[in-house]
Amino acid sequence: MKKTIITSLFTLLLVACGGGSDSTDNSQSGQQKDQQNQDTEVVFDNLSSLAEFPIGVSVPAGQYANSILNSEARKQIVLQHFSQISAENIMKMDALQPNQGQFSFNHADNLINFANNNGIGVHGHVLLWHSQVPNWMKSFSGDKQQWLTMMKTHITTVATHFAGQVESWDVVNEAFLDNGLYRSIGDSGSVWYQNIGAEFIQEAFVAASQADPNADLYYNDYNLSSSSSKINAVVAMVEDFQTRNIPIDGVGFQMHVTSSYPSDDTIKAHFKKIVDLGLKVKITELDVRMNANSQHQQVSDAILKLQQQRYFDIVSAYLEAVPAAQRGGITIWGISDADSWILNLYDQEDWPLLFDENFNEKPALQGVAQALNND
Ligand code: XIL
């Protein structure tokens, strides 16, 4: 592990521009520690060399115009800094089984070959989700048993195909609402819940475990670091699985967060709830919105400095709350700001990631490095 530290006038200057902790609930000692680390720049060639656990990034591939396989700039960043990838879209249900019984693995195989050939691991995303479901599945007609068979066929075929090539899977994504109830009806309802009931979740985990006994199996969701109802629902689900020997190895916290919400203390407390169950905690989709209130027309040094502090605080919270043996890793949801899904989702300017639209390193990258180097 490379841990060279030099004092940096650059970061000292940026601290003076207002880079204090953006959360109000830090302890005094925490603030002092943060301040101390903002004053030193970590020199590193390779971000992932600073961690003992996977440092991942989600990548576009396949038919997407910004595929890393066709972009030297993106490819170089992945090769230089990351030890794991997640496919941003091409391993979702609609991509892998566009028509019933017709599996389409070519794009994903190409991406995984690239990863394997370069010593980069793969986190599988995602076996089962209510979104990006192919149309034929949405309009599938059958009784509960037929739905279960159709669901398990997808999971078994996909997990068997990639067995030995993925380190872990998001088995089920976003089954709960923020109020802790199962996602069921409505615009973003779940066809799985509607047609099978809550047991679709355990059936998905059992099928994944049978198909690939060696991969770590995660339940993945957003707002787990902020909503207590949602994290408590996941805790109850895991406890129930544990009493009935349903396999589950970890919980994926997506962590699409803003510059100030949720607080560091809430994030830590929510990680700890999963740690206490003996499961792994993985940050699966980290990005930090800096323009959630649409107040900025363009990015500034002060915004970038605040973001550096926020990335530092989140990674520090992870390291503080999650013991080494339970760290599944940290994945950033995208390479460059230009490609971030956040810009499309909210249809406005934002700068959520570690590299800017010209693929230059941002202070946020240094924030992650400082926190990792501290461990
Ligand atoms: C997003 C992708 O980044 C977008 O390109 C796509 O249009 C929609 O999905 N939670 C997840 C991810 O689990 O799969 C989502 O990815 C972001 C939210």
> Of all residues in the chain, what percent carry a pLDDT higher than 90?
88
**DSSP label at residue 280:** E
| Kind of pairing between the strands at 84-87 and 121-128 | parallel
Instruction: State the Cα angle at 231 between 226 and 232, rounded to 5°.
Output: 130
The 10 Å Cβ neighbour count of residue 210 is: 14
Mean pLDDT of all residues in 222-243: 98
Could you tell me if residue 5 is inside a domain?
no
Q: Would the pLDDT of 97 be above 80?
A: yes
CA distance 95 to 167: 20
**pTM higher than the cut 0.85:** yes
Answer whether residue 28 shows pLDDT above 80. no
Residue closest to 165 by CA, chosen among 222, 115, 240: 115
Say what the pLDDT of residue 3 is: 39
**Which of 341, 343, 345 has most ligand 1 atoms within 8 Å of CB, for mutation?**
341
Range list of β-strands (E), 109-247:
121-128, 168-173, 216-221
- Does the beta carbon of 88 lie inside 6 Å of ligand 1? yes
**Rounded to a whole number, what is the largest CA-CA distance in the chain?**
66
Query: Does a structural domain hold residue 276?
Result: yes
Environment class of residue 65 by beta-carbon count within 10 Å: exposed (0-12), middle (13-18) or buried (19+)?
A: exposed
The confidence score (pLDDT) of residue 367 equals 98
Angle at 266 between CA 264 and CA 268, to 5 degrees: 70
Please report, rounded to a whole number, the percentage of residues in the chain having pLDDT higher than 70.
Answer: 90
Look over the chain and give the mean of its residue pLDDT values, rounded to a whole number. Answer: 92
**360 DSSP 8-state letter:** P
Distance 92 CA to ligand 1 centre (A): 10
Mean pLDDT of 109-117: 98
- The answer, yes or no, to whether any atom of ligand 1 lies below 6 A from the CB of 173, is yes
* Secondary structure (DSSP) of 231-267: HHHHHHHHHHHHHTT----EEEE--EEESSSS-HHHH
What residue's CA is closest to ligand 1, atom 4?
A: 341
Question: Is 16 a domain residue?
Answer: no
Ligand 1 atom closest to the CA of 333, numbered from 1: 3
Domain span at residue 182 reads: 50-373
- Which CATH number does the domain housing residue 300 bear? 3.20.20.80
pLDDT at 7 > cutoff 80: no
Weakest-pLDDT range from 26-30, 68-72, 255-259, 343-347: 26-30
- Find all residues with CB under 8 Å of 312, minimum gap 6, and list them: 34, 37, 38, 367, 368, 370, 371
Q: Is the CB of 254 under 6 A from ligand 1?
A: yes
User: Would you place residue 94 in the very low, low, confident or very high pLDDT band (cuts 50, 70, 90)?
Assistant: very high
Q: Rg of the chain over CA atoms, in angstroms?
A: 20
Q: Please spell the DSSP secondary structure of 9-21, one letter per residue.
A: HHHHHHHHTT-S-
Distance 87 CA to ligand 1 centre (A): 10
Rounded to whole angstroms, how far apart are CA atoms 26 and 19?
14
Instruction: Note whether residue 55 is domain-resident.
Output: yes
Q: Is the peptide bond before 126 cis (omega within 30 degrees of 0)?
A: yes
> In testing the pocket of ligand 1, which one of 85, 129, 131 has its CB within 8 Å of the most ligand atoms?
131
Ligand 1 atom closest to 341 (CA)? 3
Beta bridge partners of 287: 256
Residue 271 lies in a domain: yes
Residue identifier of the C-alpha nearest atom 13 of ligand 1: 173
- Cα of 55 from ligand 1 centre, angstroms: 19
pLDDT at 40: 87
Structure confidence at residue 35 (pLDDT): 53
> What pLDDT does 16 receive?
33
For residue 31, pLDDT over 70 is answered with no
- How many folded domains does the chain comprise? 1
Residue 34 has pLDDT above 80, yes or no: no
Q: Which residue has the tokens 């520090």?
A: 316
Residue 295: other Cβ atoms inside 10 A: 7
CA distance 306 to 303: 5
Helix/strand/coil percent split, the chain, to 5: 45, 20, 40
Asked if residue 253 is part of any domain, the answer here is yes
Residue-wise pLDDT tens digits, 138-176: 999 999 999 999 999 999 999 999 999 999 999 999 999
Positions annotated as catalytic residues are: 174, 285
Q: Do 169 and 215 touch, CB atoms closer than 8 A?
A: yes
Q: How far is CA 5 from CA 40, 41, 53, 286, 291, in A?
A: 7, 6, 21, 25, 31
Instruction: Tell me what the mean pLDDT of segment 217-236 comes to.
Output: 98
Ligand 1 atom 16: residue of nearest CA: 88
- pLDDT value at residue 6: 35
Q: Would 42 be classed as within a structural domain? A: no
Residue 44 lies in a domain: no
For the Cβ of 89 lying below 6 angstroms from any atom of ligand 1, the answer is yes
